[in-house]
Amino acid sequence: MKTLAHAALTAFLVIALTAGNTLAGSPGHTTLVLDLESCISTALQAAPEIGEAQADLALTSSKLEEAKAYRYPQINVMSLFGPAPGAKREDISPTINTNKSFSIRDLTWFASTDLTITQPLWTFGKISENMKAATHGTEVDKSKKQQKGNEVALEVKKYYYSVLLAREMQTVLAELQLYMLQGKKKIQELIDNESDSGDPMDLYKLDAYSGEINKYMEEALKGEQLATAALKARLGLADNVDVTVATERLELPDEPLPDLNSAIKKARLQRPEFKQLKEGMAARTALVEAAKANYYPDIFLAGMASWAYADNRDRIKNPYISDTFKHAYGGVALGLKWHLDFGITSAKVAGEQAQLNRLESTKVYADNYIPLQAKKAWLEMQEAQKNVSITQNAYQSAKKWGAAALANFDFGIGNPRDVFDAVSIYGKMKAAHYQSIFDYKMAKANLEYALGDHQAISPK
């Protein structure tokens, strides 16, 4: 019977896949057949979360480059061009004319350029500490990107295994439908032969069972469609591209459980959140020091040059007299710039210190929660592995029970109720068996996530 059910299901799948290939062959429409690794790789390429994390990383990298650039000279240049009053040497020599009248006909044009250059010499840690903060900030964003990748991989695994679970449920239900069909045929024969074992009430019971099985079949079909649609959305496929999973069966891998203590140690070593906290605390510590550096001045070397020219003005060569519109001079100097306030800097230091304290509290939470998360996933994996074996023994026993009950019924010494009960338990236990395999695979996926097993993320 099971063989027939499988044959029917295989035929259905062949028809479905044939229809899919027809669509795939139609112009502009394709169907991708992907295994789990290919699905994860495609999802990582398409995930908007990865794009956002990459943009955040680029932003932090630009801040690092900005912090480094403060080590180099800064140059300011300002040029002007406009009208200027004409001026002659005679206006101030031999005596200064203090009542010269203005005439628009005396206007001329001037051009000027002022250049200043400053080179920081000592900033008491403002530049170096900001560089440290930006460097650690870059590492934080790299870990965030890795964390997003792990989250995407976990989500893909859930959809992928959900598709397989829905298909296995359909197989079980198809097998039960076949049993119901054969049972109805047998009871009808007994009724037609006016056998004492033939009871029309049994037909009603079978119809009721069949209705329930058909209802579950519809749910399984809907579940497969929803999981496939979610997987397609996660992969970022276009409307004219469909996806189907390459794995045919939901099977329990032949592997031992990892050692729990080793798993927890591994989580502490490679979980991206731990690295984020470590690098984030280093960045915040550097920002605290950078804020404290604002208590001190900046020492710098400065150079300046100024040039201005106006055609209708005489050049005055006298260090006591400066002509805005016609001059040329320059020089270098050692400078000190010191900003003093009454509480602004100390408030900024306190703010950065508060952010650092917050991260220290978050680290305490992570130290407790992440190992707990790993242990929870490990225990769920252990439970599911045992349940796979338990449910397998249960549905195999139920199958033997059903065969014996059916034989007794055929001989007219059994009760059809025993057959119904055996088939019902068989269906429930076999469904529970595949549910346990699904639970095992998801518990393993959760454990891999809890351990921070890295997913390779190709650069976008």
| Three-class SS state of 89 | helix
**CA nearest neighbour of 189 among 176, 199, 178:** 199
| Three-class SS state of 326 | coil
Give the chain's end-to-end CA distance (angstroms, integer).
52
DSSP string for 217-249: HHHHHHHHHHHHHHHHHHHT--TTEEEEES---
Distance CA 303, CA 73 (A): 10
Amino acid at 176: L
Find the range with the poorest average confidence among 99-103, 110-114, 347-351, 364-368. Answer: 99-103
pLDDT at 96: 82
Q: Are strands 298-310 and 241-245 parallel, antiparallel or unpaired?
A: unpaired
Distance CA 340, CA 26 (A): 74
- The sign of the dihedral angle between the CA atoms of 270, 273, 279, 285 is negative
152: exposed, middle or buried (Cβ count in 10 Å: 0-12, 13-18, 19+): buried
CB 115 within 8 A of CB 77: yes
Distance CA 264, CA 405 (A): 50
pLDDT at 458: 56
Distance CA 328, CA 304 (A): 11
Distance CA 403, CA 409 (A): 10
Q: Is pLDDT above 60 for 12?
A: no
Residues 6+ apart with CB under 8 A from 214: 177
Amino acid at 177: Q
pLDDT at 195: 77
DSSP state of 376: H
Amino acid at 418: D
pLDDT at 403: 87
Q: How crowded is residue 364: how many other Cβ atoms within 10 Å of its Cβ?
A: 10
pLDDT tens for each residue of 189-234? 888 888 777 788 888 888 998 999 999 999 999 999 999 999 999 9
Distance CA 282, CA 356 (A): 9
DSSP state of 87: B
Which range has highest mean pLDDT (28-42, 406-420, 429-443)? 429-443
Q: Is pLDDT above 60 for 309?
A: yes
CB 269 within 8 A of CB 454: no
Name the β-bridge partners of 336: 299
- Using a pLDDT cut of 90, give the percent of the chain over it: 71
pLDDT tens for each residue of 353-409? 999 999 999 999 999 999 999 999 999 999 999 999 999 999 999 999 988 987 887
